[in-house]
Amino acid sequence: MNKADVLLGLQWGDEGKGKIVDVLTPAYDIIARFQGGPNAGHTLEFNGIKHVLHTIPSGIFHPTAVNVVGNGVVIDPVIFKKELDALAALKVDVKSKLMISRRAHLILPTHRLLDAASEASKGKNKIGSTLKGIGPTYMDKTGRNGLRIGDIETKEFKEKYDALVEKHKQLLSYHNFEYNLAELEPTWFEAIDYLKQLQFVDTEHYVNNAIKAGKKILAEGAQGSLLDIDFGSYPFVTSSNTICAGACNGLGIAPNRIGNVIGIFKAYCTRVGSGPFPTELDNPIGEKMRQIGREFGSTTGRPRRTGWLDIPALKYAITINGVTELMMMKADVLSDFESLDICTHYLHNGKKIDYLPYNIDPKYLQPVYTTVKGWSVDLTGVTDKGKLPKELMDYIKFIEKETETPITIVSVGPDRTQTIRM
Ligand code: GDP
Ligand code: IMO
Ligand code: MG
């Protein structure tokens, strides 16, 4: 039975999903995003071009692959239009190979305002949201108030829009939030008009017919497993299911039609926004990692928090997703460290455990490390597995043994070519 593969992040996002989807696309007919929205920033680098995608799947630069924006995705038409314009400037033919699910929900200007109002009201407990309106849009989806791509094709679109905005205005006044909607609406409606030239599709049929016809499909996740609404470090999470099951919900693929699950992780950890981060290095070592790894958000430019690799968290993500193979990113960034710490256990209320528990607040949980030797070799030009230093091979073997999962790709730089098949 033909099955769809899923590729997703195992940490707090920004693992390098965009780069790897781009690398793998030649082996696939369809690349499909299944959740999240413009909170994502997926970076691709090739032929001297560096490009960041937010909503459009990372297969878009390949000549033949069809790119699907699934029903689980939330779309901000204004950002989507900007993405389309940026691709047009690079002469990428988008119209023929991009389709959007009619069931995908729309981010309204008032969703963004509500996101800002909600964060402001949380004060020091704020989530650190990207402020793209993600939370409020998914709230309207589950609250059964949302506006969808398919609504654009109906006569009642403006009426439905007005009704939803009326609700939002009441919420904004409850928050005492000042705003100027008249400034935002014209651009939003222009962008809606612009989107009409794209293919709005019942993608659940398209995807399932493609699976039946033997086409190769790769579902591209956004964010990471530790930001999942159910299994992440709640409430410091995003508002969608970022895990493998999200690909079933977000595309209409049945669980028994999921094939390989490719888990992407950094050789260390990063997190952007608030929330607990057990192995965080809030010190000069962490700063060095941030500088070498250029750890600044692809969407917001915020500095990313950095820390050592966290094996119990990785094992947790592997289990929840059913990961069949791992890909380790940014190995090159660790080249300048004499020794490396790897978190293998936690002290949880004073007891040593090897799994990620419910509460990972630093008050209750501290990391326990094993120290290994670094490799001090510039990896960025290495293309051959045989040329990797022994210490890095030991690091890889250690992770494979702990996680009982093979690492099939090691990435040693942001460019397409800086990718080593293991
Ligand atoms: P995504 O959200 O998972 O697609 O990841 P982002 O694009 O937000 O962040 C990953 C960042 O690391 C981007 O700037 C990539 O260009 C860069 N990157 C990806 N792989 C590597 C790698 O192996 N080494 C280095 N140094 N940078 C990488
Ligand atoms: P990609 O796909 C890293 C984080 C935000 C914040 C929390 C909630 O590029 O890996 P939201 O805007 O969803 O309400 O923010 O989630 N976050 C991400 N962090 N990478 C992402 O996406 C993220 N998308 C959201 O920083 O902490
Ligand atoms: Mg990113």
Q: What is the pLDDT of residues 110-132, one digit of tens each?
A: 999 999 999 999 999 999 999 99
Q: Does residue 17 surpass a pLDDT of 90?
A: yes
C-alpha 132 to ligand 2 mean position (Å): 10
C-alpha 282 to ligand 3 mean position (Å): 21
Nearest C-alpha neighbor of 410 from the set 390, 374, 385: 385
Q: Does residue 304 surpass a pLDDT of 90?
A: yes
Ligand nearest to the CA of 127: 2
Residues near ligand 1 (Cβ within 6 A) = 9, 13-19, 40-43, 45, 293, 298, 329-330, 332-333, 411-414
What pLDDT is stored for residue 152 in this prediction? 98
Global confidence as pTM: 0.97
What pLDDT is stored for residue 364 in this prediction? 95
C-alpha of 157 from chain center: 30
Alpha-carbon span 90 to 270, nearest angstrom: 31
What pLDDT is stored for residue 247 in this prediction? 98
Alpha-carbon span 391 to 396, nearest angstrom: 9
C-alpha 173 to ligand 1 mean position (Å): 40
Which mutation among 53, 223, 234, 296 tests ligand 2's pocket best, with the greatest number of atoms within 8 A of CB? 223
What pLDDT is stored for residue 64 in this prediction? 92
The secondary structure element, H or E, covering residue 263 is strand 258-266
Three-state DSSP state, 363: coil
Task: Work out whether the CA dihedral 296, 298, 299, 304 comes out positive or negative.
Answer: negative
**Any atom of ligand 2 within 6 Å of the Cβ of 130:** yes
Residue showing tokens 């990471």: 224
Q: Looking at per-residue confidence, does 247 or 95 come out higher?
A: 247
For Cα atoms 139, 142, 143, give the angle at the middle one, nearest 5 degrees: 75
Query: φ, ψ for residue 28 (rounded to 5)?
Result: -125, 155
Q: Is 361 tagged catalytic?
A: no
How far the first Cα of the chain sits from its last, in Å, is 27
For Cα atoms 236, 242, 244, give the angle at the middle one, nearest 5 degrees: 145
Alpha-carbon span 259 to 216, nearest angstrom: 10
What pLDDT is stored for residue 298 in this prediction? 82
Share of the chain above pLDDT 70, in %: 100
Given the residues 5, 22, 42, 140, the one annotated as active site: 42
C-alpha of 301 from chain center: 16
Q: Does residue 91 surpass a pLDDT of 90?
A: yes
Three-state DSSP state, 219: strand
Mean per-residue pLDDT of the chain: 97
Report the length, in residues, of the chain: 422
**Any atom of ligand 2 within 6 Å of the Cβ of 134:** yes
| Tens-place pLDDT, residues 22-33 | 999 999 999 999
Alpha-carbon span 162 to 340, nearest angstrom: 56
Nearest C-alpha neighbor of 402 from the set 334, 292, 290, 309: 309
Alpha-carbon span 251 to 71, nearest angstrom: 6
C-alpha 377 to ligand 2 mean position (Å): 32
Structure tokens at 98: 């991009």
Cis peptide before 235 (omega within 30 of 0): yes
Q: How do beta strands 217-220 and 30-33 pair?
A: parallel
**Any atom of ligand 2 within 6 Å of the Cβ of 222:** yes
| Tens-place pLDDT, residues 200-234 | 999 999 999 999 999 999 999 999 999 999 999 99
358-363 average pLDDT score: 95
Task: Work out whether the CA dihedral 309, 310, 311, 316 comes out positive or negative.
Answer: negative
What pLDDT is stored for residue 299 in this prediction? 81
What pLDDT is stored for residue 79 in this prediction? 98
Nearest C-alpha neighbor of 282 from the set 306, 304, 310: 306
Q: Is 14 tagged catalytic?
A: yes
Alpha-carbon span 205 to 209, nearest angstrom: 6
Task: Work out whether the CA dihedral 280, 285, 286, 289 comes out positive or negative.
Answer: negative
Alpha-carbon span 345 to 313, nearest angstrom: 10
Eight-state DSSP code of residue 73: B
Neighbours of ion ligand 3 (CB under 5 A): 14, 41, 298
C-alpha 366 to ligand 1 mean position (Å): 28
The protein residue whose alpha carbon is closest to atom 13 in ligand 2 is 238
Ligand nearest to the CA of 221: 2
149-176 average pLDDT score: 97
Ligand nearest to the CA of 270: 2
| Tens-place pLDDT, residues 22-70 | 999 999 999 999 999 999 999 999 999 999 999 999 999 999 999 999 9
What pLDDT is stored for residue 18 in this prediction? 98
Sorting pLDDT into bands at 50, 70 and 90, what band is 274?
Answer: very high
Nearest C-alpha neighbor of 15 from the set 295, 421, 356, 340: 295
Sorting pLDDT into bands at 50, 70 and 90, what band is 301?
Answer: confident
